[in-house]
Amino acid sequence: MNETFLQACRGEHTAYTPVWFMRQAGRYLPEYQQVRSKVSFLELCKTPELAAKVTLQPVDIFGFDAAILFSDILIPMEAMRLDLEFHEGKGPIFSRPVRSQRAVDDLVVPVPEESLPFVLETIHLLRGCLRVPLIGFAGAPFTLATYLIEGGSSKVFLHTKKMMYQEPELYHNLLTKITACTSAYLQAQARAGAQALQLFDSWGGILAPCDYEAFALPYVRSIIAELRAMTDVPIIYFINNGATLTALTTTAGADVLGFDWRLPIVEAVACSGRHAVQGNIDPLALFLPKERLEERIRTMLLDARDARGYIFNLGHGILPETPPGQVRIAVDAVHRFSGKP
Amino acid sequence: MNETFLQACRGEHTAYTPVWFMRQAGRYLPEYQQVRSKVSFLELCKTPELAAKVTLQPVDIFGFDAAILFSDILIPMEAMRLDLEFHEGKGPIFSRPVRSQRAVDDLVVPVPEESLPFVLETIHLLRGCLRVPLIGFAGAPFTLATYLIEGGSSKVFLHTKKMMYQEPELYHNLLTKITACTSAYLQAQARAGAQALQLFDSWGGILAPCDYEAFALPYVRSIIAELRAMTDVPIIYFINNGATLTALTTTAGADVLGFDWRLPIVEAVACSGRHAVQGNIDPLALFLPKERLEERIRTMLLDARDARGYIFNLGHGILPETPPGQVRIAVDAVHRFSGKP
């Protein structure tokens, strides 16, 4: 087992800089497309052999230093008894948005072993063949709540913020239930063998810091505190577009803070104190010509050199349009420049 | 003429805190809807009597301390000989995206007096009846370029960043032409009587600071420098989601920096040096119950007290769903708490 990634998470010395990419298992890979052409996205998530197969692809092809479970943050929301659909090009749809106490009452907090066995089975399969650490994950409660309240993706999050501002008790009840589900789900992943856990807060960055502190952060803290009580796997908290929330995210209790590309990594490192740092090249920078991409990676490695631990990653998920050859250039550059033997 | 807004722009002492809202003339107002029900959005922009009428509405109804010309940042792009359409609920569409040197060559830098006379006529009409200052505006070149390159709105700005990274010369040629158009357009607005000018950089915040510095900021600087040479009207530079770009935006040459809601105003003030500051309550905070909205406004006024000059505003445009009564509460609160006689 190559433990470089886990060492970096724990702030230990590493022989070189480990690298993985958010959404590294996905549509930019022809090998993924081939599997996906035969099943729907949800079927792929729920079929352990196939989910394990696409999880392994980028690790085998590019030599990433960690694998991340192929799944979607909304899978456990479906297990709360919500109708989840994915429409091509439109993203996820919940046909009945959760906007009333009655709708909250109808949500079931699932027992992962009963309602999400395919995820745990995927983890078992992967641990049997991986030689790099396996990352499990979940959406952060606020991010999950936005999908439930809006009924899908959103631009301005009108319904979410209206509920926060006008019906804070209802909002709290919903978030409490999502938090219970997420907490149990991550604990089950750790028990099943996930060696690190990442909380994805894709939408936390739409909140002013005062609102993030009141309406999002407490639920993240609670999940992490419960995980701490049962496991010592490293916990990564990634927040998208959260530069102004950094001081708050350092109080969440995570081991690693993940950053999007808007905050220069040198500043991210300076703000992160005892945390390891993960990030944060613009996913679109993978479209740079080879020499300029390598130059940008070299600069990032230099700028991150004072981090307690450093994991190279994109600042957000890789885009489907990315040429795989560019991914190889990037992974090789991180390894070469950081002295991988 | 109530000059409070202009005094704040210049960093002079004001008797109270002036307030205006981005998109204050717009769909949330029944009075606007009534005018708009009879003409298309583009017709409304191009009919001086109607554009002037809807510009005045929010000033008359709520007592805002400045008026902003009713128009759209893409109007001068149409004058560059691009087909611009607005589709209900879909935003602007350019049916032929600009992605080649040939397409750039086909763009015409318009003479505003010839191609955009309706804008200048609207300004004349408004100056004849307004008793608060009139703000003219334009989109910042990078923001305008994203619409031209993508062919409309975008989520990830793939084509824009690809052009930046892979065809920097083409990108530069396009931006140079947009900049020439924007510069002439703002100068014409100043000559026609606009008493302040705001550059809207709605999408600058999608760039990492190193890319913003290379691909967006120079064009803003150039426009402001050319304006300085011909007029002393205050210049406001608003960048959306630009918290990590603040150090760079202070070098743009503007008098006032406008901030979105993600950066606490106390930090915005601390970073802004000699600039006046404009912003930055979350537009959705207008949905707060009266007492909590007033509390938030009171806090913001306190947090901004050390600004060289301070203009209360939203952190982004007001949403169409906003109840007008909430706007009244907010404007009155700003005035009352800041001691308007």
Q: What's the pLDDT score for residue A84?
A: 94
Q: What's the pLDDT band for A87 if we cut at 50, 70, 90?
A: confident
pLDDT of A2 over the 80 cut: yes
Q: How confident is the model at residue A341 (pLDDT cuts 50, 70, 90)?
A: confident
Question: What pLDDT score does B88 carry?
Answer: 77
Contact criterion met (CB < 8 Å) for B241 and A244: no
Q: How far apart are CA B65 and CA B131, in angstroms?
A: 9
- The crossing angle, in degrees rounded to 10, of helices B168-192 and B217-228 is 30
* Angle of helix A290-303 versus helix A324-337 axis, rounded to 10: 40
Q: How many other C-beta atoms are found inside a 10 Å radius of the C-beta of residue B144?
A: 27
Q: Which of A23, A32, A65, A171 is catalytic?
A: A23
pLDDT tens column, B123-150? 999 999 999 999 999 999 999 999 999 9
Sign of CA dihedral A57, A59, A63, A64: positive
CA triple A81-A82-A84, angle to 5 deg: 130
d(CA A49, CA B220): 53
Where does the pLDDT of residue A90 fall: very low under 50, low under 70, confident under 90, or very high at 90 and above? confident
Please give the residue of chain B at the shortest CA–CA distance from A154. B155
Residues in contact with B4: Cβ distance below 8 Å, sequence separation at least 6, in sequence order? B14, B15, B16, B18, B65
Q: Give ipTM to 2 decimals.
A: 0.96
Long-range contacts of B225-233 (CB under 8 A, 24+ apart): B225/B253, B226/B183, B226/B187, B227/B183, B227/B186, B227/B187, B227/B190, B227/B197, B228/B253, B230/B187, B230/B190, B231/B187, B231/B190, B231/B191, B233/B190, B233/B194, B233/B195, B233/B196, B233/B197
Sign, CA dihedral B284-B289-B290-B293, equals negative
Pick from A208, A263, A284: which is nearest to B282 by CB? Answer: A208
Residue A43 has pLDDT above 80, yes or no: yes
Backbone angles phi, psi at A320, to 5 degrees: -55, -30
Residues of A whose CB is below 8 A from B262: 205, 208-209, 241, 243-244
The residue among A159, A147, A164 whose CA lies nearest residue A201 is A147
> Which residue bears the tokens 């750790």?
A190
d(CA A160, CA A150): 7
**Beta-carbon separation of A262 and B321 below 8 A:** no
Angle between helices A168-192 and A141-150 (to 10 degrees): 120
* Token code pair at residue B246: 């603040």
Per DSSP bridges, beta strands B67-68 and A310-314 are unpaired
Q: Please, what is the angle between helix B324-337 and helix B48-62, to 10°?
A: 60
Q: Is A72 a catalytic residue?
A: yes
- End-to-end Cα separation, chain A, in angstroms: 16
Restricting to B residues 201-260, those with a Cβ less than 8 Å away from any Cβ of A are 205, 207-211, 241, 243-244
Two structure tokens written together for A154: 């959103």
State the smallest CA–CA distance between residue B90 and chain A in angstroms: 12
CB contact under 8 A, A284 and B244: no
Query: By the CB < 8 Å criterion, does A167 face chain B?
Result: no
Q: Hey, how many other C-beta atoms are within 10 angstroms of the C-beta on B202?
A: 22
Residue A297 tokens read as 């990676």
Token representation of residue A30: 């022809």
pLDDT for A91: 87
Q: What is the DSSP string of B203-221?
A: SGGGS-HHHHHHHTHHHHH
Sign of the dihedral through C-alpha B220, B224, B227, B233: positive
| Among candidate residues B82, B58, B62, the one with its CA nearest the CA of residue B70 | B58
Of the residues A147, A185, A219, A237, which is catalytic? A147
d(CA B316, CA A238): 25
Residue type for A252, please? A
Contact status, residue B8 vs residue B65, Cβ threshold 8 Å: no
CA distance B159 to chain A (A): 10
Is A89's pLDDT higher than 80? no
What is the length of chain B?
Answer: 341
Enumerate residue ranges in chain B where pLDDT < 70.
Answer: none
